[in-house]
Amino acid sequence: MTTPFKLLLCTWNVGDTNPPKETADYLPMLGIVGDHREWPAMISIGLQEVKNDASQAFKNLFIEDDWTIMYKEILSKHSYIMVKSVKLGALLLLTFLQQRYLPYVSNIEKDTTKVGFGGLSSNKGGLSIRMDLCGVNIVIVNCHLAAHFAKTEERIIDYMTILENQSFKNDESSTILDHDYVFWMGDLNFRLNELTKDDIIERIEDRNLKSLWQFDQLRNAQDEGLILVGFQEGVLDFPPTYKFDIDTNTYDTSEKQRKPAWTDRILWWVQSDVFEGTTMKTDQILYTSHSEYKKSDHKPVTAQFNIQVLQSSIATVIFGPMLDWHQGEDEVFSYCIQTDTYNSNGWDWIGLYKAKFKDLNDYVSYMWAPAGKAEHTKKGVTLTFESMQFPPDWYCLCYVDNKKNVLGISETFEIRPEFDSSTSSENEGSVQTDHSSDEL
């Protein structure tokens, strides 16, 4: 039995710019609008031409880049957790998940491939993040292929290099095309053949976009079986996303007079018959560009999908009810393992997190979980955080295994200053949520 799972992909060549100071306007592009029940369960953002000069590259040895910091900040406020990031030169791929889905994702890996200057440079290349998700597996690729109008053959070679060189430790899906779902996005850099710039702009202004499709290098190469064979793409009913004068919606007026093109693309591939008696499929809900973002000479492109995942039961680890905690007190909590097949090896841990945490490294404190099956029976395990001295706020607990998979997440609870006899319901601004019995 399957159930739909919504994800949003965003690709954007940011043109060597810094993120904006005002970030609230970035939420609609990521599907964070209206009823929160309609928000994507997963958001994956692929950027190209992230600022990567010598000083920035040195800075990134010690702290995250500015775009990662921005996206983590705005998405954590809406209960999205960054589950993986990967950077290669000026390429960046970030994947976020709604907090309540954390126990249903495992075996997250990443890989990188350089293709610039014959594989010696990271100015062009591909990044990937793969994971097991609700009984299926998925991989997302972000790439930046060879530039310039006449470089179609080089772009195809770049694609094949990425496809052939990316590999993963998972036995069932050790290559990109081994996965149940493959999403490929980025600045693929394919252009429009034959037409002049004036011809293209006239058709854009007349909203006659369909007449441009036959000249698209990527579509022609796909039809010839040269690239992304078997991949699907939504209808290109938005204007070409390259090349614009900065801070405008005007196509290139520089001396080079580059022709408009759909360089920025999102495609997908699915193994529909991988499960006996069940047809896996991808339904594209939206495929569009966002002309309101003018920082770069490219426009961002987003796509929303519903994919089919397997109906799952409750999480592996279930926390007991969480009462309010108090500073300076020893606080007790409990959990139980819901499967007889799981055996802690002594490296599992329970992390204490702020309710709106950004990633798994964002814990406030942690303690080791006891090892072995005997301590993890369905009767439960009771542990104590001693002499709590954490600032008053809303928190949650996560059970994390030695591979950094989250096996369970508690309901949120409040840590109060010293002892306060008033109930948590009297407090305004409650962010309490209960993940203990979430099902898909």
For residue 439, is pLDDT > 90? no
pLDDT at 428: 44
For residue 161, is pLDDT > 90? yes
Average of per-residue pLDDT across 405-421: 87
The two structure tokens encoding residue 245:
């004068």
Query: Which of 356, 366, 361 lies closest to 412 in space, CA to CA?
Result: 356
For residue 426, is pLDDT > 50? no
Average of per-residue pLDDT across 71-90: 96
- If you average pLDDT over every residue of the chain, what do you get? 90
Q: Considering the chain, what percentage of its residues have pLDDT values greater than 90?
A: 76
Do 97 and 39 contact (CB within 8 A), yes or no?
A: no
For the segment 218-260, what is each residue's pLDDT rounded down to a tens digit? 999 999 999 999 999 999 999 999 999 999 999 999 999 999 9
- Residue bearing tokens 């047809």: 279
Measured between alpha carbons, how far is residue 107 from residues 99, 344, 403, 408 in Å? 17, 16, 7, 15
Average of per-residue pLDDT across 174-185: 97
For the segment 337-357, what is each residue's pLDDT rounded down to a tens digit? 888 778 888 899 999 999 999
For the segment 74-83, what is each residue's pLDDT rounded down to a tens digit? 999 999 999 9
Query: Which of 338, 333, 348 lies closest to 381 in space, CA to CA?
Result: 333
Give the chain's radius of gyration (CA, Å).
24
Bond preceding residue 294 cis, omega within 30 of 0? no
Q: How far apart are CA 33 and CA 387, in angstroms?
A: 41
Backbone angles phi, psi at 89, to 5 degrees: 60, -120
DSSP symbol at 149: T
